[in-house]
Amino acid sequence: MLDGLDKDPIQAASKAELACEKLLFGLNKPYVIHGKDISISASIGVSMFSENSMVSDLLQQSDIAMYQAKDSGRNAIRFFDPKMQHAINERAKTEQLIKDGLSNKLFELHYQLQVNEHGDAIGAEALLRLKHPLQGYIPPMQYIPIAEETRLILHIGNFVLETACEQLKRWETNPATNTLTIAINVSPIEFNEDSFVSNVLTATARHDINPQLLKLELTETMMVDDIEGIIAKMNLLKANGVQFSMDNFGTGYSSLQYLRQLPLNQLKIDQSFVRDLEHDEQDRSIVQTIIVMGKALGLNVIAEGVENTQQQEMLLEFGCNNYQGYLFAKPMPIEEVEEKLNRLQ
């Protein structure tokens, strides 16, 4: 019996599966009996329980699941609940998709331009795309949570950092692009690694780029634990010129206490507040507050998800001069971004 796995049933099932895999791995090791190597396998049936579950039902369900595992060819793990089994299968597929993406170099960065009130490009956000040979581009939210759970995000993060640095280096030689920043999204799993600061600084040094043009987008959910440690890491990077933006601002804790302490350069107003800006009084108040607060703290403020001129005009009136959204540009492959930049010239 495994208890205290997770509040989320799918997460709990995933952890149960991991425990079963460890058991199978252990059982599969050869035993030496009277000088002979003996190998055995096992079939495991899993039934998830909650506070209201009956012991007799659980045993019966696990038993049924175990027979399903045997029927599927033995040495397997099966869940009693078909929904759970389906979810587990989907996760396994996604994990494989990420691994294939990494080994076959299917990950790409697309870039979404960020502009000022005159429509001039000031930078771009790098957004991850997985180019599947059959399914086309798969959006990041379909695999990032699993990449984080499996820690494969560390490999993805390295690819993102390397690619963004290479791009900044290429832009350096062109006067039309040599002041543009590139913002990359950083997962809490990456940021928490001891090697994160040195990874970033090594990459900027190796590519010989101006670190001030590299912006790291952090999220508020990162700021829950060890705020001192986070500040220390940010300060080390900032001392070397690297910039920081607080992504999806307003959707997390938005505590003034941490905001005051963090060495940020920018607040990014979350698109959920921009979406109904023209119609929703409350969203307008929130956006105005974020802009005033950002400015009072000496931070740049950028709005994301700007889709129409009405939204942009309102934002400008409230004092926000930087924008990102479909109104100006969609995330695009680098060739299209450069074409667009040439047209804007």
The residues that touch Mg ion, with contacts defined as CB under 5 A, are: 185, 217, 247
* 69 versus 234: smaller Cβ distance to ligand C2E: 234
Segment contacting ligand C2E (CB under 6 A): 47-55, 278-286, 304-312, 313-321?
304-312
For residue 185, which of 120, 138, 141 has the smallest C-alpha distance? Answer: 141
- Nearest residue to the partner ligand C2E, using Cβ: 325
Among positions 97, 121, 160, 246, the unique one binding ligand C2E when judged by CB under 6 A = 160
d(CA 177, CA 171): 5
Nearer to ligand C2E by Cβ, of 9 and 140: the residue is 140
Rounded Cα distance between 66 and 42, Å, is: 9
By the rule CB under 6 A, 12 interacts with ligand C2E: no
Partnered with residue 132 across adjacent β-strands are 136
**Shortest Cβ distance from residue 212 to ligand C2E (Å)?**
20
* Residue 139 interacts with, from Mg ion, ligand C2E, none (CB under 5-8 Å by kind): ligand C2E
Does 331 help bind ligand C2E (rule: CB under 6 A)? yes
| CB closer to ligand C2E, 88 vs 156 | 156
Answer with the entry of Mg ion, ligand C2E, none that 55 interacts with (C-beta below 5 to 8 A by kind). none
Q: What is the closest distance, in whole angstroms, from the C-beta atom of residue 142 to ligand C2E in the complex?
A: 9
Build a one-symbol-per-residue string for 171-200: x at contacts with ligand C2E by CB under 6 A, - elsewhere.
-------------xx-x-------------
Report which DSSP code applies to 8: S
> Is position 325 an interface residue for ligand C2E (rule: CB under 6 A)?
yes
In 3D, which of 178, 253, 261, 171 has the Cα closest to residue 220? 253
Query: Measured from the CB atom, is 65 or 287 closer to Mg ion?
Result: 287
Q: Does 247 participate in binding ligand C2E (rule CB under 6 A)?
A: yes
Residue 139 sits in the site that holds ligand C2E (CB under 6 A): yes
Instruction: Give 261-309 as a DSSP string.
Output: HS--SEEEE-HHHHTTTTT-HHHHHHHHHHHHHHHHTT-EEEEE---SH
What token pair was written down for 309?
């001129």
CB 104 within 8 A of CB 115: no
Q: According to the binding rule CB under 6 A, does residue 140 interact with ligand C2E?
A: yes
Question: Amino acid letter at 149?
Answer: E
Cβ burial, residue 33 (10 Å; 0-12/13-18/19+): exposed
Hey, what amino acid is at 137? Y
**Residue 17 binds what, of ligand C2E, Mg ion, none (CB under 5 to 8 Å, by partner type)?**
none
Whole-angstrom Cα distance, residue 136 to residue 286? 37
283 binds, among ligand C2E, Mg ion, none (CB under 5 to 8 A by kind): none
Is 316 in contact with 280 (CB distance < 8 Å)?
no
Query: Nearest 5°: phi and psi at 205?
Result: -70, -45
**Which residue has 């599927």 as its token pair?**
72
Binding residues for ligand C2E, rule: CB under 6 A, are: 112, 127-128, 139-141, 144, 160, 184-185, 187, 217, 247-248, 271, 304-307, 325-326, 331
